[in-house]
Structure 1
Amino acid sequence: MGARKPRDPLSRERVLVSAIALVDAEGMAALTMRRLAAELGVEAMSLYHHLPGKGGLLDGLVDAVVTEITSAADRAEADAARADWRARLRLRFLGARAVMLRHPWAPALLTGRPAVPAGLYVYYDGIVATLVDGGFSYRIAHRALHAFGSLALGFSQEVFQPSAGEETDAEAEEAEMAALAERLPHLAAMVAAETHDAADPTLGWCDSQTEFEFTLDLLFDGLERHRPR
């Protein structure tokens, strides 16, 4: 009988890779320390040597997603090194969006943590640098960050959309739409007209790729009017 291949030692990175694979496949509700330990083939207590409990695990997931976003931003900067500010930001934000579409649980997690992840400051510093290099003042760059909101991270927070990746009951949704049509006919007509195809990349009802890029271009057009000639 051949010797058994030694298992990779447990590490923070290995735990997070397994956690991301689990929530990508089954959603955030599936993520528990016991389930994650089973996926890794270890005892649950072993995880606490690398991540201090469920809160530490969630913070680790956020850090991993932010690292993906900053890596996507670096690639965008390389791809658009000679482009203008608008093209550079567009590629940066669409790179972040690709990360969010790979991990549809990430928007809710990012916005739900009590503190801003340290890596995001580096990411936003790059956005401000792009704007200033493009001729904008720091005052307008500051206002632009407020206008971009979560678009800079690849998703849009909307009043009418469910949480990212949320399962919906078709029968209940149909009944809700019927009630909506009776009480709020214009909103109901808009919903009926704007329901997206299942293949459209989306992180919620109001977050299709078309709407995301439309909003970006609208903001970029507005900012251009404030750029010194």
Structure 2
Amino acid sequence: MREPLSRERVLAAAVALADAEGVPALTMRRLAASLGVEAMSLYHHLPGKDGLLDGLVETVAAEVVAAVSRDGETGPDEDWRDTLRRWFLAAREVMLRHPWAPALMGRGKAVPPVVYAYYEMILGTMIGAGFSYRIAHRALHAFGSMPLGFVQELFGSGDEGGDDEAELAAMAEALPHMAAMVAAELHAATDPTLGWCDSQVEFQFTLDLLLDGLERYRG
């Protein structure tokens, strides 16, 4: 007997399709085909493409919170920085499994409720470590999207398939410091990336920089 459709089943199939083929390939028709149903039957569970994209964000956000929860709360002798570092890196592992998710999470839609519970955990950790609410609030601004496992792109990578050497040479004439920075930051093939400005090395460097800097304001 065929498993009945549910919102959860539809979204799980949508995540799998996005992982395999990318979000541009994710249409209601393509999703229905992967589930062996007619496209119209999906509209009982999701109100069109926007609802589908919102559902993808909710699903990945829930996966982040589940990963953080499995990673455990602050131990009795654990430094607050180690706790947040573990959580943020656990979230990043989720994003590396779904590299299309950061772009969707930046669409400006409503924040999934499960994310608020996660940020409550972050705030509780900081307040418990001796931070004031004012500094904790500023810390959340400084972290940006890092608690969710990614950072926003500062500079795009340009059109795919372009001649990188030619582009760098042209840039060097007008913007020598920019060109030097780009050349210095070309990522190694072994460094997992979610974008040109979001490699694993950069993520961990920035995270440690923020955590160590905030320690000055504790208590």
- Cα distance between partner residues in 2 of 1:81 and 1:216: 20
Q: Is the contact made by 1:76 and 1:88 (CA closer than 8 Å) also made in structure 2?
A: no
**Distance change in 2, residues 1:167/1:223 (3 Å):** same
- Cα distance between partner residues in 2 of 1:160 and 1:67: 29
Q: Which amino acid aligns with 2:56?
A: L
- How far has the Cα of 1:123 moved from its partner? 1.1
- Cα distance between partner residues in 2 of 1:73 and 1:161: 29
Query: After superposition, what is the alpha-carbon deviation per residue over 1:100-129, rounded to whole angstroms, capped at 9, x for unaligned?
Result: 100001001011142222221111111101
1:91 maps to what in 2? 86
**Distance change in 2, residues 1:174/1:38 (3 Å):** farther
Task: Single out whichever of 62-71 and 80-89 deviates more from structure 2.
Answer: 80-89
Q: Is the contact made by 2:153 and 2:197 (CA closer than 8 Å) also made in structure 1?
A: yes
1:188 maps to what in 2? 179
Of the three residues 13, 16, 19, the one matched with 1:21 is 16
Relative to the length of structure 2, the TM-score reads 0.94
Query: After superposition, what is the alpha-carbon deviation per residue over 1:15-54, rounded to whole angstroms, capped at 9, x for unaligned?
Result: 1111111111111100000010111111000000111111
Q: Structure 1 residue 206 and structure 2 residue 201: aligned?
A: no
- How far has the Cα of 1:210 moved from its partner? 1.2
2:75 maps to what in 1? 81
Q: Which amino acid aligns with 2:212?
A: D
Task: Single out whichever of 191-200 and 120-129 deviates more from structure 2.
Answer: 191-200
2:207 maps to what in 1? 216
Q: Which amino acid aligns with 2:86?
A: L
- Cα distance between partner residues in 2 of 1:185 and 1:70: 42
Trace 1:1-229 onto structure 2 (pairs within 5 A).
6-78=1-73, 80-82=74-76, 83-162=78-157, 168-171=160-163, 173-228=164-219
Over 4 Å off, 4+ runs: none
Q: Which amino acid aligns with 1:81?
A: G
% same residue: 66
- How far has the Cα of 1:211 moved from its partner? 1.0
Relative to the length of structure 1, the TM-score reads 0.90
Number of aligned residue pairs: give it: 218
- Cα distance between partner residues in 2 of 1:96 and 1:197: 22
Q: Is the contact made by 1:148 and 1:219 (CA closer than 8 Å) also made in structure 2?
A: yes
Q: Which amino acid aligns with 2:102?
A: P
1:3 maps to what in 2? none
- Cα distance between partner residues in 2 of 1:120 and 1:100: 15
- Cα distance between partner residues in 1 of 2:63 and 2:190: 24
- Cα distance between partner residues in 2 of 1:182 and 1:147: 34
Q: Is the contact made by 1:86 and 1:220 (CA closer than 8 Å) also made in structure 2?
A: yes
Q: Which amino acid aligns with 2:156?
A: Q
Q: Is the contact made by 1:147 and 1:219 (CA closer than 8 Å) also made in structure 2?
A: yes
Q: Which amino acid aligns with 2:192?
A: P
- Cα distance between partner residues in 1 of 2:15 and 2:211: 33
- Cα distance between partner residues in 2 of 1:132 and 1:161: 36
Query: After superposition, what is the alpha-carbon deviation per residue over 1:51-79, rounded to whole angstroms, capped at 9, x for unaligned?
Result: 1111111111111011011111112224x
